Chain A
Amino acid sequence: MTRACLAAVAVATTAILAGCGIRDRDPAIPGSTLRATIADPDGDGSLSRGPGEPLLDRTELAPRRRGPFREVARFGQLTDTHVRDEESPARVPFLDRLGPPVTSTFRPQEALSPQVLAAAVRALDAERPQAVLATGDLIDNAQRNELDQLIAILDGGQVDPDSGARGYRGVQQASNPDGFFYRPGLDAPRHPGLLGRAQERFFSTGLRAPWYAALGNHDLLVQGELPPSEATDAIATGDEALLRYDPQLRDLLDELPRTADPSPDLADVPQEAIERLLAHGVPGRRTHVPPDANRRGLRFAELAARLHDAGTPAPQGDRLDYTFDVGAQLRVVVLDTVNRAGGAAGVIGADQVAFLRRALAASGERAVVVVDHHGLERTQGGGAALALLDRDADVIAELSGDTHRHAIRPRRTPAGGFWQITTASLADWPQQSRMLRLVTAPDGSRALETWVVDQAGGIRGGDLAGIGRELAFLDAQGGRPNGFTGRREDRNARLWLAPPPPR
């Protein structure tokens, strides 16, 4: 009896102390925004916890039905995680000073991308998905060491965010006199020691569910723009970095030969011209940095092989197009939209349209979700692919990333229509991922429920992921001013679908 009492007292004490600790340290909050949201209600630039956002019924494609409903598939989406080697000499963090359309080449929270992804993984795991779709721009600069980090975080294990010599060397150092960069040791909000902590190895729990990658331009192109080459490899693995902006750069870029229809990125600049520019060197004073051979640029074969080792199906030729099932009633078709010639915009070829046709035909009675990075509407050649989707009554959604913004739009088609869903990135505010759940009723009614999930960093706890979110929120080029959180109905919604066709 006495022992039981003592045990009870010990348990109660532990619980109370743990409770106190929870209040004091503001630990990781549960990620689902159905329960709680993270917001700045009074507009003073500081985040706090707000009420949850229940699912909103969206009936643009089909009316609301009554249940009972049964869950037939439950999966998550992580996109634009942009795991980056922020110390890499192959980065041009000052380029956003050229102004739009070049933006966000530097982010105040960029040194914390691995920790933010690890926190997102923990939050998504708590939602118990059957599979997780990683819809592109998973790494930032198509570097081998970035991929190492990504896979370690998603698969679980020890993650080494550092590169070059131990410790941080980059534009955010307090010794950098360029005040246009946020330096955590100096600038508000001050976080002394943040960069050192960000380079320390840490353990990632990894995703319990299998994850599948769709490629984005940043996964295969240097800075999401340039195909890796010997010249870019030399810069990336070299020991000289351009950390200071030189006004001559603008003139030089203005002088680059372009096609008649110039695009905002470098897609219209001939590869030779870029190679020539790199060979002569970008203007500006160079700084010595510790080299790292593991910063070499990834080629498709190596990337696909590494992803395959991690569980992603093998590519179809030189494109990472594939299918897989989530449960018995949902098939996912993944399309690779990266333009191998360079440029941030997506592209899809005739072979891929043919692959899509075959995949749709092979899906049988399963519902189909099509996944790509750029979104077919914004992808060159995407029209033909969309035409296929429009004709197929089994297609329930197209899931993409790239925009860093939550959005859910209905696409009405003669076959009944499907939902086009994009999800915010982890690189910018709101650093959320998405959960999706396909539910059906015995009468054939079905709906796709979706809600966004905050990464598990604390609000005021001082943990790196939490600080990453705070900085992302404050970033004047980031998701807050650009409205990346989308509208209320772009986040948590029950998307009603037309019943499947009679077989």
Chain B
Amino acid sequence: MTRGRRLLAVALVVAASLVAGTALTAAVSLSGGFERAASRADLPDLIVRFRGRPRAEVSERLDALPNVEATQYRTEFNDVFLRGGSGSTGRGAVHFVGPGRRGYAILRGRDLRGRGEAVVEAGVAREWGLAPGDPLSVGDRGGSLRVVGIGLSPDNVAFPLARAARIYVSRDEFPGLRVDVAMAWLADPSRADVTLAQARAVSFGLEDVRFVTRDGVRILIGQAAGIVIALLVAFSLVAVTTAGIMLGASARSEVARRLPSIGVQRAVGFSRAAVVREQAVRAAALAAPGAATGLGAGALAMHGAADRLLAALNELGPGAALVWWLLAAWLAIVALVAAASAWPVWRATREPISALLRGGELAVGRRPRRPLRAAAGSRASGAHGDRFRPSAGGGLAVLGARLASARRARWAATVAVLGAASATLVLLLALASLLVALRDDPSTVGKRYALTANLSPSAVRDVERIPGVEKAAERTSVEASAAFSLGQPLRLVGFERGADDFESPPLAEGRRRRADDEAEVGVGLADALGLRPGSPLVVALPGGREGRFRVTGLVRALDNDGRIAYVREERLDALGAFGSTNVAVRLKPGADRAAVSRGLQRLGARPSEATAATTRNRDFLGVLATVLRIVALSVGLVCLLVLAQALVLTARERRPTLALLRTIGAGRGAMARVLGGACAVVLVPAVVLGVALEVLVLGPVVSSLAAGYAGLSLDPSAGHLALAAGGLAILGAGAVALVGRRVEREAVVAGLREEA
């Protein structure tokens, strides 16, 4: 193998490993972030919030619950003025914590030991540049605390994604404080339902009681980025798989090229096993450094971005555990390349040595032997018959295409690699569009209104009088849980009668709601509770009351992980279910959103745009962009290298033909047309294959892995296809230019001598 060819093969392994490294790092980092943080922070299994009560009264009830291993109590003060380092806010959240298990992790410094100390949440410390030892001013009167530690708790996203800047202070500061948060660690978290049922029974008399389990917290955090992370993780898993396909196919292609030399080895007496072993070792030796480089580069490129994303969510990266994953991936890649190289050799060496010496194609399945001989024959005729005859056979481009596709097995392998790469590219574009839509377009989560306003329901008619407003409706959202299974959180969204269509995700089964006691439930909730149209939905409301609804339909809702039920506002009212209420505003087509917002402000409201499924936080989105950019770059690099390899091989093998063409006057343009044809013959079917792969396999797989309950569409648009095809065409042009220059540099005589 020449040095250049070896370098090209290594570069391909590097590029594919780069995709694998990037994707693997993203998948490993993002998929377990919450669990890692929850585990390190010792997040309680059960969090109960209520209006302040004496600690003894609450602890008497909590201690009586079964399955409780430990308890802790807090008092939370919100909207406290905080100033420290380079920042300040009037939205400080001061949590007074008791001794014992805390429910947060100390990342730097130490935990609270006494008065005058504070542990600052990591997001606040990052944003304001705080470190242990720094002073922190609390309250309007400027009470001073000293930061002793930087903490992290995944029960909320980090500041500034969360609006409140959170600090922890010892309850010793104010020992008589009433508590308003109780936390419990369970001996067996899988039996949380039993504990919750008893907790509800003894919670009578506490006001505004809300239970949140670890699962509930995870869903709550997921509001910010859950679906995005799920999509990225799913995408990464698919990308790792396609990287494997690329590596396998390219290794197979490399073997095809070496068949004659394998024939020589067999002719001089090497056994099949020895030949295969030698091929596997050679491939492994080639892949090992490349895979290590690619995986390392991918991991390095992704690591920082993933860590920033996790930090924004108050979650933790995998740390050293990632190294083990990468090591496993490295071994898998090397084994894959070795196996993909050894297996075709093993199969090819079944052929007679004479056929191998003629450079026969690899045996494929149980095909008759004829193509092997025919291929050899066509090669011979190609060598002598592919003369410069522009008028016959469709010109130079067609000639190039014929030259490139003459080796069918290698052509198929190249098309497979490029197909997988282009499928990944198309998927990437579709994913990017979906993420933008999830961020900006409320209709992706079934919301058919543009604005919300914090107005009382009585203002609905006034809102409708604002020019540009088509309709307004009261919207109430209540965080509740399933009465059957109190550990299952869910959200009730109520719209007043006649405004059911304000929020209506696609119907998956059944029908829309028509009566006050009917509900459409998200597929996520239906799956969790085993609901079907006709089933009763029994909901435990804050405060202990229950609401009962009949499920009429299942909807593909994305909001709240699909754990959502759409009901009538009137029914929520009747049940005394208090939640957050605002007015949803639907605009007329072409209405000026800014003008409507001003109109709402005149009514005393603070209008906000209807939210879609993800946050609009700039930093957060920046991280996402980085992730996608790195993967796109890696895939692009793979495409470029594969194309270059295909063209170089074609040019190398067809050297006499190309020399002859140049002898009879073919210039740079003619050469470009020949190579362009060779490029197109792999690129066009690869794009078709890629699109088919994306639409039929990758898109549905990613969608289903990320949010099977929501039925997200990752079908590419015409724009995506044009962009992917254009991008690949540019890469192809680049490869043609690179190889063309190389062909030009070669002496014509050398090529002709080879022919002779």
Contacts and interface: CB of A to CB of B under 8 A. Distances in A.
Given A474-B194, A476-B202, A481 B187 contact: no
A46 B485 CA distance: 18
Nearest to A480: B66
Given A44-B67, A187-B483, A477-B64, A180 B193 contact: no
B79 interface: no
A473 B196 contact: no
A189 interface: yes
B324 interface: no
A362 interface: no
Contacts of A177: 538, 545-548
B540 interface: yes
A43 interface: yes
B205 interface: yes
Interface string A36-50: 000010111110000
A46 B199 CA distance: 16
Contact of B194 (A45, A99, A180): A45
B63 A481 contact: yes
Contact of B545 (A179, A182, A186): A179
Contacts of A476: 61, 64-66, 198-199, 201-202
Interface residues of A, number: 27
Interface in B61-108: 61, 63-69
A475 interface: yes
Given A179-B540, A476-B66, A46 B484 contact: no
Nearest to A97: B204
Nearest to A181: B201
A120 B187 CA distance: 30
A233 interface: no
A178 interface: yes
Chain A contact surface mostly = loop
Interface in B665-705: none
Nearest to A183: B483
By CB atoms of chain A within 10 A, which of B67, B201, B202, B548 has the most?
B201
Q: Which 6 A-B pairs have the closest CB atoms?
A: A481-B64, A44-B188, A188-B193, A45-B66, A45-B67, A177-B546
Contacts of A480: 64, 66
B191 to A, nearest CB: 6
B67 A477 contact: no
A177 B544 CA distance: 10
A180 B200 contact: yes
A179 B67 contact: no
Nearest to A189: B194
Interface string B154-186: 000000000000000000000000000000001
A129 to B, nearest CB: 33
Interface of A: 40, 42-46, 97, 99, 108, 177-182, 186-190, 473-477, 480-481
Contact of B66 (A97, A179, A186, A473): A473
Contacts of A473: 66
Interface residues of B, number: 35
Contacts of A44: 67, 186-188, 191
B201 A43 contact: no
Contacts of B200: 179-180
Contacts of B69: 43
B188 A45 contact: yes
Contact of B201 (A42, A180, A481): A180
Interface string B544-573: 111110000000000000000000000000
18 contacts: A40-B66, A43-B67, A43-B69, A44-B187, A45-B188, A45-B195, A46-B188, A46-B191, A97-B204, A178-B545, A178-B546, A180-B544, A181-B201, A182-B201, A187-B484, A188-B485, A473-B66, A476-B61
Contacts of B186: 44
Contacts of B486: 187-188
Contact of B484 (A45, A97, A108, A186): A186
B531 to A, nearest CB: 14
A478 to B, nearest CB: 9
Interface string B477-495: 0000001111000000000
Nearest to A46: B191
B52 to A, nearest CB: 17
Contacts of A108: 201
Contacts of B196: 188
Contacts of B540: 179
Interface string B38-72: 00000000000000000000000101111111000
A108 B198 CA distance: 10
Nearest to B57: A99
Contacts of A190: 484
B197 interface: yes
A243 to B, nearest CB: 14
A187 B63 contact: no
B197 A188 contact: yes
B567 to A, nearest CB: 15
A179 B544 contact: yes
A177 B540 CA distance: 9
A318 to B, nearest CB: 40
B204 A180 contact: yes
Contact of A179 (B65, B193, B483, B485): B483
A188 B65 CA distance: 13
Nearest to A40: B66
A46 B66 CA distance: 9
Nearest to A185: B484
Nearest to A43: B187
Contacts of B65: 476, 481
Contacts of A189: 193-194, 197
Contacts of A178: 545-546
Nearest to A99: B205
A44 B193 CA distance: 12
Contacts of B191: 44-46, 188
B202 A42 contact: no
Contacts of B187: 42-45
A188 B483 contact: no
A3 to B, nearest CB: 54
A180 B544 CA distance: 7
A364 B199 CA distance: 55
A190 B483 CA distance: 12
A243 B199 CA distance: 21
Nearest to B546: A177
Interface in B262-309: none
B364 to A, nearest CB: 55
A38 to B, nearest CB: 14
